[in-house]
Structure formats: structure tokens, C-alpha cells
């Protein structure tokens, strides 16, 4: 399934954080230019793999994502981009877009693995507009206030922006509201 580039928006890794009350890890992707935040719950190993790279930490031996990057290059391919393509049953889905001199491939991946690979290989990260419309949170990073959060909740509740009801993503909304987004250092908080 090929994604339409016109329906995707570029994202940047804002940070990887730990929710103190539960110990769960969350990857925060920020929409380039507009600032919507897309929170994605991830496992501790993937959180560590992303955070290590963001902090410039290089392990003595290659980790799994380092190994995959090396395998891709050794086979004569390159990772062009990663895309968060869908949100189904509160689970995000991603694709690795790979190219060789002769062909282009898309491989299904977990978003956490896709982002861990993207930060290592320094390739762009995108999200489908539909995913952002359904799950992203608008945040005014200058003032730390929310913008458009009420409108998006109303849109979701009335079915105008997708099939996810307003309550199903409330845990993300609550978590993002608890963050101090002025900290732009890309570090993990609480870990």
C-alpha cells in the first residue's frame, strides 16, 4: 500500500518521555511548521534506543536498529523516509520506505522501530494527515497553552474528523497536558 505524499506531513522528534505515574514511555512527534504534537506510547527498549541517538550516545556494539541500518546499506538500499500511516484500534502503524537503484519498497513497521531507525539514518519522518487529525494535540509552544483542543474534541465527538471518539484518546490528551513543552532539549524526562 503506497502512501500519497500529498496526504502526509513532516514530523520531528520532540522528545521521548516517561509518564511518572505509570512509568510508561511516550514518543512525542511534533508537526514541522504547525506544532501539533502526536504522542505515541512505546516500549522502554525502543524509548532508550531513540533517546540514546538523540543524546549522541553511541553503544560499544551495534544495537538492533544500528544493525538494521547496516543491513539496509549493505544490501545496496537506502531508507528514504518513515511514515506513520494509520491508527487502528488505538494502535499506530508505520511503514519504512526503502529504495534500491531498481525498485522502491514499503515495509510494515512499528512506529517506535521506524523512528529509532530514522533518527539513526537521519531520514525524514512523516505522518498521514488523517492520523494527525485523529490523534494529534495542538499546542502553542510559545505560551504553553493549547490551541484548538476543544474544537478537535468536538469534531471527533461529532464524527467530522474520524471514527475515534473523544474519550478513546483521552489518556494521550491528559499526558500531553501534563508536559512542560518548553524543554526542547530532546532528552528524556524522568529516566
101 vs 146: CA distance, rounded Å: 45
CB 120 within 8 A of CB 62: no
| pLDDT tens-digit map of 122-169 | 999 999 999 999 999 886 544 333 333 222 323 323 333 333 444 445
Average pLDDT over residues 8-25: 92
> In this model, does residue 175 exceed pLDDT 70?
no
> Is the whole-model pTM more than 0.85?
no
What Cα–Cα distance (Å) separates residue 67 from each residue in 113, 117, 182?
12, 10, 34
- Tens digit of pLDDT for each residue in 47-90? 999 999 999 998 889 899 999 999 999 999 999 999 999 999 98
Give dist(CA 154, CA 166) in Å, integer: 8
What does the pLDDT read at residue 186?
47
Ordered domains of the chain (ranges, CATH): 5-177 (3.10.690.10)
Amino acid at each position: 500500500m503506497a502512501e500519497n505524499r500529498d496526504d502526509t506531513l513532516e514530523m520531528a522528534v520532540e522528545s521521548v518521555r516517561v509518564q511518572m505515574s505509570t512509568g510508561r514511555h511516550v514518543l512525542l512527534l511534533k508537526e514541522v511548521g504547525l506544532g501539533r504534537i502526536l504522542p505515541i506510547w512505546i516500549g522502554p527498549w525502543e524509548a532508550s534506543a531513540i533517546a540514546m541517538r538523540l543524546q549522541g550516545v553511541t553503544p560499544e556494539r551495534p544495537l538492533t536498529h544500528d544493525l538494521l541500518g547496516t543491513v539496509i546499506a549493505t544490501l545496496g538500499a537506502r531508507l528514504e523516509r518513515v511514515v506513520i500511516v494509520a491508527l487502528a484500534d488505538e494502535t499506530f502503524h508505520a511503514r519504512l520506505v526503502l529504495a534500491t537503484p531498481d525498485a522502491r519498497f514499503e515495509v510494515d513497521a512499528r512506529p517506535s522501530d521506524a523512528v529509532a531507525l530514522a533518527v539513526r539514518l537521519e531520514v525524514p519522518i512523516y505522518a498521514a494527515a488523517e492520523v494527525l487529525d485523529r490523534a494529534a494535540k495542538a499546542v502553542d509552544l510559545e505560551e504553553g497553552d493549547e490551541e484548538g483542543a476543544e474544537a478537535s474534541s468536538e469534531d471527533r465527538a461529532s464524527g467530522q474528523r474520524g471514527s475515534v471518539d473523544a474519550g478513546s484518546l483521552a489518556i494521550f490528551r491528559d499526558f500531553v497536558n501534563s508536559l512542560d513543552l518548553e524543554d526542547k532539549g530532546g532528552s528524556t524526562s524522568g529516566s
